[in-house]
Amino acid sequence: MNQALIEKYRLHRQEYETQLTQYVQSIAELFDVPVAFLGLSDNETLWIKAKCGTEATEAPLKQAICHLVIDSNDLIYIEDTQKDPRTQKMPAVAGSPFVRFYAGVPVKINNDLVGSFCIIDVKPRQLSSKELRALNNFGTHLGQHCELIFKHLSSEDEHELLNNSPAALIRWQVRPSLSVSYLSPNLTKLLGVALPEDASLFKLEDVIHHDDTDHFLFTVRNHQQGAEICECDFRVKVPGNRSVWYKLVSRAIFDNENLIAIQGLLLNNTEQKYLENRILDTNERMRLLLEASGLGTSDWDIENDTLRVNNRICHMLKLHPDSVDTQSMFWMQLVHPADKDRLISQIGNSLKEPNGVVDIEYRLRNAEGQYLWIETYGKVVTRNEMGRATRFAATHRNITEKKLAELHADKQRRLLGFINHAQNLFVAQKDLQLACEQIFPELIDLAESAYGFIGKMETEDGVPCLQIYAISDVSWSESSKAEYKKFKKGELRFTNLSNLFGHVVTSNAPVIANKPMMHKASKGTPAGHPVLKRFLGLPIQRENKVVGMIGLANKLEDYSQKDVEFLTPLTETLAYLFKAVEVEQARYEAEERLSYLAATDPLTGLMNRRAYFDKIQQFAAENSEPHCLAIVDIDNFKTLNDTYGHPVGDQVLRAVAKVMQHNIRNNDMVSRLGGEEFGIYIDTKDNAVCHQILQAILEEIKQLSFDTDQGQLNNVTVSIGATMFKKGPHAVDTTYFDIAMKQADQALYEVKRNGKASINWFSPSNALKKDGLITGLKS
């Protein structure tokens, strides 16, 4: 950098020091380093502008480590300066302050390299790749902050220049009524009248000569009817009974075709009025004004279809004046296809409407094939006696730089909104495919692409593959339609990675292929597949490993590194979201497993006692119809255990559980209550059906046979006590359930006492007359 850039951006101003020091201190705290500063350089000196941990204000550039950053225009990261040959002999390393660690990044304003930002420590340090990216971002932010400071200083200077100029500004707010909202301070001097403290109380028409008031009001009406720029001349009476001429150049501000404000530039026009008729006529003045402002002009003779333009337009489009065709068709074929209908429509409307104007932004192709953004303002200036337009005049301004900046800013806003939307969807849905499908159309629109996909790396039989979570429907045959149906079921995987999109995964790097067939990884496209004109593949990386990718195709213009950089925040977000979904899924599965274990008997796999009781109370509470509740007890189970051993006993328990599960229906339940006792809940009020189910269980258990070390074990039997119960009109859930369990237990007690191996239904007349819950007769 040279002294010219320091002067250009006014880097010597104290505002840079004041506003940036706290920011630099915050970065030093973030990286936990003792020293950090912003260094601005000219050809020989490093000027330390904003700093933390040092009192130095300047240093010879070649003796400062920062010159490595400035010379390379890139990140310089040195873990140990004493081991790096570039720095080990530098004064700041060999002597005080004995710098041992350095990391610095270039700082730019409007792409002009103005210096560097660095962090320093007196001991060796290591930074992660994430921290280095953060440091790079901080350097970029510092440059942007410097740019904002420069723009603010420029704005202040412009305001000061305006206040000291012979022109004054005035602004009217149109709604709810026309009232002044701003007066520049120099208006008092310009008009020679006192201004009220409240600008809304000032009315320009009150000081205008009464003969000229209509000129001003006519200008206001023109703006209200859609005119963007107007001029108005009027006189103002000043002391001494003199009149001074003023010119008001005003511009209307619209919001969705609604006039919201008028801005005016007021100049003393007395001398101009005096000289006007002697120097130029109105058309010549306009020509000079347009040429001086850099505007192109056109004059269209509609009847003869002859279009004349000034040299400014030729220069704008890099056309030689002699090569320009005068027919309107020549100019119309230069208009971007996407803008042509809009332009034709506006011109057509202005030709039909008496006060119609053309005020439009569109693209024109220059002689080198590049499209420029043009702002055109025009209107019909003459009509024949039939009212038909005969002549149309317009001005044209190249707004490419401004428009591209606006479009880029708009895309950035859309991207940030899109990322927030994606995050919210992933959090809300917790379904990776559903979330990806919902954001996918907006992604395709944002990337200006025709189609594409989002995939996540997984393994199938130990082989890496791409699980597709979002994809455009470009099916062209029955087989491709079947593949798309597989995607809708969450079953579409790309297992072949030896192709163009697979190269994104295998190379772990973005792939830009604007001529896909010429790319080394290209394998072509299947027959019938849409022509692949351009391709962009973006890896989704976490910890420098590919965890997925985005594939985009057929942008109207070439893909570029700018597209990669623009979409990088999205790929980084998707990497974290992929991880978050994985963690959430693992948590959900763990909770489900814990819930299952908490409700399951580990030996038989049946519902345990607590879960069984909870379910029955829940079902019964929701239904007042009678239900069957039964307790099943294995006969002589203690003797069986003592004779054959506990392993055989466990085998019997599992077999009995399997028989009961086999015989119950979908809405019924079976549980191990504890030991050799089981519970059965049958969801029906039909006693015969209940008895049939219990009888089938009883008979099938009798058929069980087991091989043991003591020989064959046969004739395993069970006793079953059952009852039909329902919730009474005033019963509490726990109360009527306890009563039902007691009834089933009493019925079981009866069958045990009367010979076992059968079913007994509870009968109030046979109920045992004893207090408390009878848990059954144990063998």
Quick: pLDDT tens for 112-158: 888 899 999 999 999 999 999 999 999 899 888 888 888 888 877 76
The topology under which CATH files domain 3-161 is Beta-Lactamase (3.30.450)
For the record, the structure tokens of 341 come out as 């209908």
Regarding predicted confidence, which is higher, 43 or 341? 341
Is the pTM above the cut of 0.85? no
For the record, the structure tokens of 595 come out as 């819930």
Residue 291 has pLDDT above 70, yes or no: no
Task: Work out the burial of residue 431: count CB atoms within 10 Å of its CB; fewer than 13 is exposed, 13-18 middle, 19 or more buried.
Answer: middle
Residue 650 has pLDDT above 60, yes or no: yes
Question: Where in the sequence of the chain do the CATH 3.30.450.40 domains occur?
Answer: 3-161, 428-586
- In 447-547, which residue ranges form alpha helices assigned H by DSSP? 478-488, 500-507
Q: Are 59 and 49 in contact (CB under 8 A)?
A: no
Looking at residue 64, the DSSP 8-state letter turns out to be: S
For the record, the structure tokens of 69 come out as 């950053």
d(C-alpha 162, C-alpha 185), whole Å: 9
Query: In terms of Cα–Cα distance, which of 36, 34, 9 is closest to 22?
Result: 36
Regarding predicted confidence, which is higher, 453 or 10? 453
pLDDT at 288 (0 to 100): 65
Q: Are 199 and 182 in contact (CB under 8 A)?
A: yes
**What is the identity of the amino acid at 291?**
E
pLDDT at 779 (0 to 100): 33
d(C-alpha 143, C-alpha 149), whole Å: 10
Residue 106 φ/ψ, nearest 5 degrees: -70, 150
Q: What is the pLDDT of residues 157-171, one digit of tens each?
A: 767 766 666 788 899
Superfamily of the domain at 295-398: PAS domain (3.30.450.20)
d(C-alpha 136, C-alpha 27), whole Å: 12
Regarding predicted confidence, which is higher, 606 or 576? 606
Q: Are 425 and 405 in contact (CB under 8 A)?
A: no
For the record, the structure tokens of 177 come out as 């009524």
Residue 595 has pLDDT above 80, yes or no: no
Q: Are 114 and 140 in contact (CB under 8 A)?
A: no
d(C-alpha 340, C-alpha 347), whole Å: 11
pLDDT at 479 (0 to 100): 80
Of 83-87, 553-557, 726-730, the least confident: 726-730
Q: Are 78 and 87 in contact (CB under 8 A)?
A: yes
Query: In terms of Cα–Cα distance, which of 225, 241, 179 is closest to 205?
Result: 179
Question: Where in the sequence of the chain do the CATH 3.30.450.20 domains occur?
Answer: 165-279, 295-398
pLDDT at 769 (0 to 100): 42
Integer CA distances (angstroms), 502 to 91, 459, 509, 546, 555, in order? 51, 14, 11, 11, 20
Enumerate residues 6+ apart whose C-beta is below 8 A from 553.
449, 450, 451, 452, 532, 533, 534, 535, 536
Task: Go through 357-384 and write b for each residue having 16 or more CB atoms within 10 A of its CB, e for each that does not.
Answer: bbbbbbbbeeeeeebbbbbbbbbbeeee
Residue 658 has pLDDT above 90, yes or no: yes
The residue to which tokens 């379910």 are assigned: 615
pLDDT at 379 (0 to 100): 93
d(C-alpha 541, C-alpha 130), whole Å: 12
Query: In terms of Cα–Cα distance, which of 684, 775, 770 is closest to 725?
Result: 684
Confidence band for 360, pLDDT divided at 50, 70 and 90: very high
pLDDT at 228 (0 to 100): 92
pLDDT at 282 (0 to 100): 54
pLDDT at 119 (0 to 100): 94
Segment 308-337 shows an average pLDDT of 87
Give the dihedral of Cα atoms 311, 313, 318, 323; nearest 10 deg: -60
d(C-alpha 410, C-alpha 362), whole Å: 17
Confidence band for 284, pLDDT divided at 50, 70 and 90: low
> What is residue 110's three-state secondary structure?
coil
Segment 277-300 shows an average pLDDT of 67
d(C-alpha 312, C-alpha 332), whole Å: 18
Task: Work out the burial of residue 284: count CB atoms within 10 Å of its CB; fewer than 13 is exposed, 13-18 middle, 19 or more buried.
Answer: exposed
Residue 494 has pLDDT above 80, yes or no: yes
Residue 298 φ/ψ, nearest 5 degrees: -140, 150
Residue 190 has pLDDT above 90, yes or no: no
Please report which helix (H) or strand (E) contains residue 38, including its range.
strand 35-41
pLDDT at 720 (0 to 100): 94
Residue 78 has pLDDT above 60, yes or no: yes
Which pairs count as long-range contacts for 204-213, CB under 8 Å and 24+ apart, including other chains?
A: 204/170, 204/180, 207/236, 207/237, 208/234, 208/235, 208/236, 209/234, 209/235, 209/236, 209/237, 209/243, 211/235
Of 393-407, 431-445, 554-568, the least confident: 431-445
Q: Are 119 and 77 in contact (CB under 8 A)?
A: no
d(C-alpha 734, C-alpha 511), whole Å: 67
Looking at 3.30.70.270, 1.10.10.60, 3.30.465.10, 3.30.460.10, the CATH number of the domain 609-766 comes to 3.30.70.270
Query: In terms of Cα–Cα distance, which of 637, 646, 662 is closest to 752?
Result: 637
Residue 451 has pLDDT above 80, yes or no: yes
Residue 620 has pLDDT above 80, yes or no: no
Task: Go through 695-714 and write b for each residue having 16 or more CB atoms within 10 A of its CB, e for each that does not.
Answer: eebbebbeebeeeeeeeebe
Residue 712 has pLDDT above 70, yes or no: yes
Top-tier CATH class for 165-279: alpha beta
| Helix and strand element counts for the chain (H, E) | 23, 29
Residue 142 φ/ψ, nearest 5 degrees: -60, -45
428-586 under CATH 3.40.50.2000, yes or no: no
Q: Which residues are paired to 120 by β-bridges?
A: 35, 102
For residue 539, is the peptide bond before it cis, meaning its omega torsion is within 30 degrees of 0? no
pLDDT at 736 (0 to 100): 67
Looking at residue 227, the DSSP 8-state letter turns out to be: -
Output Rg (C-alpha) for the chain, integer angstroms: 43
Residue 729 has pLDDT above 70, yes or no: no
Give CA angle at 314 (311, 317), nearest 5°. Answer: 150
**Backbone angle region of 462, left / alpha / beta, with phi > 0 → left and psi within -120 to 50 → alpha:** left
Task: Work out the burial of residue 182: count CB atoms within 10 Å of its CB; fewer than 13 is exposed, 13-18 middle, 19 or more buried.
Answer: middle
For the chain, give the percent of residues with pLDDT over 90: 29
Mean pLDDT for the chain?
A: 85
C-beta neighbour count of 227 within 10 angstroms:
19
Residue 579 C-beta-side C-alpha neighbours within 13 Å: 12
d(C-alpha 399, C-alpha 396), whole Å: 9
Residue 94 has pLDDT above 70, yes or no: yes
> What is residue 358's three-state secondary structure?
strand
Task: Work out the burial of residue 234: count CB atoms within 10 Å of its CB; fewer than 13 is exposed, 13-18 middle, 19 or more buried.
Answer: buried
Confidence band for 372, pLDDT divided at 50, 70 and 90: very high
Confidence band for 748, pLDDT divided at 50, 70 and 90: very high
